[in-house]
Amino acid sequence: MNVNINKLLLLKLPLEGYFILDCLYREEEELLRQYATTVQTISTKVFDNLVKDGWLETTKEKKEDPYTLKNISVTDKFKNEVMDKLNNGMTFDDVFDALRKQYPAEAGKSGRKLKGNTARCKVLYKNTIVKDGVIDIDLHEHIIKCLLLEIKTRTTKGNLDYLQMFQTWLSQKSWEVYSEDVKEVLKKGLEVTDDANTGFTEDI
């Protein structure tokens, strides 16, 4: 769990409250349950304040009823004011769509379709670039550069027909083959671009 203390101070959000919201947001209810049973019981006042401040909503019918994992849920306020800002305003769907858009629909001139099983591809990519609800934007951008370099290399050598299925490429983390090459390109003051030629431009 990544915690920006300055952010919590600005939002007047207690650390224990953040932990509750983060667990619910990431659907880690079991972790929250273990904390409450093995570390310490979370005060009712903490939940009351989260509800009052709009971080949580509850379906409790009576005020004296206890809070349970079945009658509380995190509101969009946590996503909008905390998680989206940690992710530079980008959602996972944004970054996945950006990568998928760059991946060719067909393999060279063979006409072999490369995109399919989008749901599985999303899971694979999410497991790669999202940790504790935070998107690794730098890694995402690096992966796209690796893809663009692979496409350019294969196009130049005439073997784009052998490009893997998108799902396989994600599963095998095939971008890693071009990772060091991308770093070398950047060291030379060049930049892998997403222009029509998928080439390099001078870094001015």
Question: What are the extents of the domains in the chain?
Answer: 5-85, 90-202
Backbone angles phi, psi at 13, to 5 degrees: -110, 115
pLDDT at 55 over 60: yes
**Mean pLDDT, rounded, for 56-80:** 89
The pLDDT tens digits for 98-123 are: 999 999 999 988 989 999 899 999 99
Which residue intervals of the chain are DSSP H helices? 5-11, 15-25, 29-38, 44-52, 76-78, 84-86, 92-102, 118-129, 137-157, 166-171, 179-187
- Global confidence as pTM: 0.58
Write phi, then psi, for 114 (nearest 5 degrees).
-110, -15
What phi and psi values does residue 116 have, to the nearest 5 degrees?
Answer: -175, 165
